[in-house]
Chain A
Amino acid sequence: MFRFLLTRVSLVIPTFIGITLLVFVLVRLIPGDPIETMAGERGIDPAEHARLVHEYGFDKPVIVQYGLYLARLIHGDLGRSIVTHKTVIEEFTSLFPATVELSLCALAFALLIGIPVGIIAAVRRNSIFDQGIMGLSLTGYSMPIFWWGLLLILLFSVQLGWTPVSGRIAVLYFVEAKTGFLLIDTLLAGDIDAFWSAVSHLILPAIVLGTVPLAVIARMTRSAMLEVLGEDYIRTARAKGLSGFRVVTVHAFRNALIPVVTVIGLQIGVLFTGAILTETIFSWPGVGKWLIDGIARRDYPVLQGGTLLIGSIIMAINLAVDMTYGLINPRIRHQR
């Protein structure tokens, strides 16, 4: 077991160093002098320019610059935003909970609908229900979510007036940030109205972001269930006289869960990609919108640091998913 964990972790380290190198090189390639960008429209006098170039180390060889960058990285220094002058870490940690809250709700939406629907489709294979669900899920999978978001806003916010168009909570509520998750913070503060305001702001973005994962999870659950339902032990369970419901939920679904969990792990990257678009459409103050704004403002430290942080988080989640398998399934643990 220890050996398994060690090999998995050792595989991650070169990838992480690779990401730092890639991010470093990519951001260096972005055209434009970073000092001039920092100075903005007003320009900068040559002496001050030279001093800043020296201060930021831009006059040193690229290899040395990368070394300095890594050294700062190890100390947790990802630089400061050119626009707000706050540290990248500070900005990221203040916005990240919003993205996590949105992503978790989207994932919950996808799981709560996707898994039951996938199971029923598999049990009633080739029925109208099955075909309809599979058609719908392929449509969901093909959905341009930035358009889907606009459509839902058009219908629920504009036509019906049920939900707000943008933001996380109505401006009239002030909730002390304890966890950063508004759904929890409002409840901790005991402010029910604020809680419902947060929920109404969250519903549409969560549905939009959850659409593609929902489609993937429904399809995956169905095919995993179909595979398991054909196994001998299912026939045995039925022959023992167990109820159909018990066979499906206890005997079949538990074994179909492994590929489904894999897919859920893989959806993390998809969720981040979707979060960039969803947050842009709904003006959701999370890291996705922050990065898009960073591009528009040419805020390179934000881009560099943000990409690195998101890459690292995804890597950590993938590693955790990998290790969970090792714990659940000895065959994976012992294979080389």
Chain B
Amino acid sequence: MTIEATHASPTTKAPPGPPHPFAEFVSYFAANRGAMIGFGTIVVLVLLGIFANVIAPFSPIDTNTQAFLKPPVWQAGGVAGHWLGTDAIGRDMLSRLIYGARLSLLIGLAVVALSVTVGTVLGLIAGFFRGIIEIAIMRLMDILLTLPTLLLAIIIVAILGPGIVNALIAVATVLLPHYVRIVRATVIAETAKDYVTAARLSGASNLRLIVKEILPNCAAPLIVQATLGISTAILDAAALGFIGLGAQPPTPEWGTMLADAREFVLRAWWVVTFPGIMILVTVLAFNLLGDGLRDALDPKLKR
């Protein structure tokens, strides 16, 4: 009788199947407190960057001749309106920091986009065609990995000339080997598997094999490495700016702002402190996000 009843209503409750991979990913990710903090911080920074011209009270490069090197408003001597004070030539710190968020995020994204694209192509070529091409590509990557990253970036900028675009190219070159290695390793592992052989036997072209069968398997490690890459890119670009080889004044780039602030270390703590905090918070947020993504995407670490 009871059996009859359950049979009669198959639509009421189907046994829960395995959750959709994306839903599973979201639930793992949401359970990671650090990753959520990182994600939230990045959302805030992105909003600051997008709406910089609305949010920032002043232009980042306009100077106020009435307020040179004024402290934040809560300190004696602060000027109303300049919430975080002004720098040595009277520019509003808060506005420069907000525009700096736009710049740093753009640098991070552009560097990683460039690096991932070139790295994926090189990695696919090396892993799929093997032989002498692979040896040449991987040796070159070994050489790039051997030299200290910043030194390599500095030399590249010395060749191309200082500036934000050249700093971007330099940092992208420095990051390149990581992506090439990941993609090549995944391609070699996947190419040996039966489903690729099956696709090949059913007449798939090399291009189709690479794009439709192999490439999707690189996605997870690439996403993780790209997120962590953004933090490295922002940090290295700021370091280049600090040495004077990155963004040039008056660009409101955080590293460049710190370089300008060095001589005021003794007199104006705010011009030294705030840009560094912004760099630290941004880099930390991307590292938290990257760690969270790795934990959520890497099945070996689950459970």
Contacts and interface: CB of A to CB of B under 8 A. Distances in A.
Contact of B155 (A158, A280, A307): A307
B147 A150 contact: no
Contacts of B142: 15, 18
A311 to B, nearest CB: 5
A128 interface: no
Given A154-B272, A310-B148, A311-B147, A295 B242 contact: no
B273 A15 contact: no
A241 interface: no
Interface in B268-289: 269, 272-273, 275-276, 279-280, 283-284, 287-288
Interface stretch (A22-30, A69-77, A246-254): A22-30
25 contacts: A15-B139, A18-B140, A18-B143, A19-B143, A19-B147, A29-B159, A30-B158, A31-B161, A138-B284, A139-B284, A147-B275, A147-B279, A148-B276, A150-B258, A150-B261, A151-B273, A151-B276, A153-B265, A269-B145, A272-B151, A276-B148, A277-B239, A291-B154, A295-B158, A307-B151
Nearest to A292: B243
A100 B248 CA distance: 32
A270 B235 CA distance: 13
Interface in A307-324: 307, 310-311, 314-315, 318
Contact of A150 (B148, B158, B239, B272): B272
A144 B238 contact: yes
Contacts of A273: 148-151
B228 to A, nearest CB: 10
B272 A15 contact: no
A277 B242 CA distance: 9
Contact of B139 (A14, A146, A277): A14
Contacts of B56: none
B150 A311 contact: no
Interface string B234-268: 01001100110100000000010010011001100
B239 A310 contact: no
A97 B245 CA distance: 27
A154 B269 contact: yes
Contact of B158 (A272, A303, A310, A315): A303
Contacts of A147: 258, 272, 275-276, 279-280
B146 interface: yes
Contacts of A314: 146-148
A141 interface: yes
B291 interface: yes
Given A147-B275, A269-B149, A295 B154 contact: yes
B223 interface: no
Contacts of A311: 146-147
A143 interface: yes
Interface residues of A, number: 42
Nearest to B283: A142
Nearest to A280: B243
A146 B291 CA distance: 24
Contacts of B283: 142, 144
B207 to A, nearest CB: 30
B208 to A, nearest CB: 33
Nearest to B234: A144
Contacts of A280: 243
Interface residues of B, number: 43
B159 A31 contact: yes
Contacts of A270: 148
Contact of A15 (B143, B235, B266): B143
B125 interface: no
Contact of B279 (A15, A26, A144, A310): A144
A138 B291 contact: yes
Contacts of A276: 148, 150-151, 154
Interface in B11-30: none
A196 B206 CA distance: 67
B231 interface: yes
A300 to B, nearest CB: 9
Contacts of A291: 151, 154
B239 A146 contact: yes
Contacts of B34: 135, 138
B156 to A, nearest CB: 7
Given A15-B142, A147-B276, A147-B279, A307 B158 contact: no
B288 to A, nearest CB: 7
B280 A143 contact: yes
A150 B262 contact: yes
Interface string B283-302: 11001100100000000000
Nearest to B145: A269
B261 to A, nearest CB: 8
Contacts of A303: 155, 158
A71 to B, nearest CB: 21
